[in-house]
């Protein structure tokens, strides 16, 4: 494998390195990080496997839980969807239903202050585990393939962080759930045997599908609409992976989509960047929820 360091300044760089070396993006990123951090690939692989286990445990805990979050705004949605799946009441098939349930589950664990992996953020923590765990289960993929998928996602995430943003406060929810969906889509493609170039196409398709998505948490909490956006983000990643694996390319390359996301984020007004001053947070119901929660806090003080 090429010994030069990866700059993580473009998805194209990751693709070209992987193609030249005849490996996946995930393998490129693992080898590069081992070299840059002066650690063995096995040690880093083990640490990533531990993160996958945290994701798996969060999903399992969330699917069983019915209690509400401390705010009372969320809780039990994952369990309800899992019940619909168990009773054969879902309409889009078991793969998508399981993926959506896991995305809700992990996000609800986060809302209850449980242990999650911010991937890439706490607000978007359900998307990547939902996609990776569900594909691993449904397609009977081994643990190594799933962990390498996380390394693929990491490489894509580092490029987005360097060239745009992963922060809702800086770039809106496109930078959080959008980035997570792009990372998950690329990971899914490589996990399912797609090429590095197809992984890049999936990244582009997922990210461009949510350009302009605002960050408007009701009452300033990462619950409404964030939890359900995690489910939508997982579905977005599934769509992008499906298209890319069928040989469908994005008309705009991944790196240009990332640059466009940065430009759009820069143009978003402050009210739509995690300030809870616009979007759904500014609706009558959103404002009433915020007032109710503020009153509850004053009563307990």
CA dihedral 165, 253, 138, 47 (to 10 degrees): -40
The burial class, CB within 10 Å (0-12 / 13-18 / 19+), for 86 is exposed
The CATH architecture one would assign to domain 15-300 is: Orthogonal Bundle (1.10)
Share of the chain above pLDDT 70, in %: 98
What confidence tens digit (pLDDT) does each residue in 245-255 have?
999 999 999 99
Q: Which residues, 6 or more positions from 268, have their beta carbon under 8 angstroms from its beta carbon?
A: 171, 172, 212, 214
The confidence band for 4, taking pLDDT boundaries of 50, 70 and 90, is confident
Judge contact between 213 and 173, C-beta under 8 A.
Answer: yes
User: At residue 300, does pLDDT exceed 90?
Assistant: no
The confidence band for 2, taking pLDDT boundaries of 50, 70 and 90, is very low
Q: What is the pLDDT of residue 146?
A: 98
Backbone φ, ψ for residue 9 (5° rounding): -100, -10
What is d(CA 28, CA 297) in angstroms, rounded to the nearest whole number? 49
User: At residue 1, does pLDDT exceed 60?
Assistant: no
Mean pLDDT of 53-60: 98
What is d(CA 301, CA 286) in angstroms, rounded to the nearest whole number? 23
Backbone φ, ψ for residue 273 (5° rounding): -130, 70
User: At residue 99, does pLDDT exceed 60?
Assistant: yes
Judge contact between 30 and 18, C-beta under 8 A.
Answer: no
Judge contact between 297 and 202, C-beta under 8 A.
Answer: no
Mean pLDDT across the chain: 97
User: At residue 301, does pLDDT exceed 70?
Assistant: no
Mean pLDDT of 46-68: 98
What is d(CA 261, CA 265) in angstroms, rounded to the nearest whole number? 6
Instruction: Identify the three-state secondary structure at position 156.
Output: helix
């Amino acid at each position: 494998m090429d010994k030069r360091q990866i700059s993580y300044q473009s998805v194209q760089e990751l693709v070209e390195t992987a193609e030249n070396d005849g490996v996946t993006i995930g393998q490129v990123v693992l080898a590069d990080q081992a070299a840059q951090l002066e650690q063995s690939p096995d040690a880093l692989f083990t640490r990533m496997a531990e993160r996958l286990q945290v994701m798996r445990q969060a999903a399992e805990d969330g699917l069983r839980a019915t209690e509400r979050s401390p705010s009372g705004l969320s809780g039990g949605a994952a369990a309800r969807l899992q019940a619909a799946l168990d009773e054969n009441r879902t309409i889009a098939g078991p793969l998508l239903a399981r993926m959506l349930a896991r995305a809700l589950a992990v996000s609800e664990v986060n809302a209850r202050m449980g242990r999650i992996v911010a991937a890439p953020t706490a607000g978007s923590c359900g998307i990547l585990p939902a996609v990776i765990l569900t594909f691993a289960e449904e397609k009977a993929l081994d643990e190594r393939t799933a962990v390498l998928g996380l390394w693929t996602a990491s490489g894509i995430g580092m490029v987005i962080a360097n060239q745009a943003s992963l922060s809702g406060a800086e770039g809106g929810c496109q930078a959080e759930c959008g980035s997570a969906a792009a990372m998950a889509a690329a990971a899914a493609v490589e996990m399912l045997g797609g090429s590095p170039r197809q992984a890049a196409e999936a990244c582009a398709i997922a990210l461009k599908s949510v350009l302009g998505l605002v960050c408007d948490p009701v009452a300033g909490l990462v619950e409404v609409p964030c939890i359900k956006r995690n489910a939508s983000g997982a579905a977005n990643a599934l769509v992008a992976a499906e298209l890319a694996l069928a040989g469908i390319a994005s008309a705009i390359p991944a790196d240009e989509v990332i640059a466009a996301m940065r430009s759009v984020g820069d143009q978003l007004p402050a009210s739509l960047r995690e300030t809870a001053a616009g979007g759904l947070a500014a609706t009558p119901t959103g404002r009433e929820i915020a007032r109710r929660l503020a009153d509850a806090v004053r009563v307990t003080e």
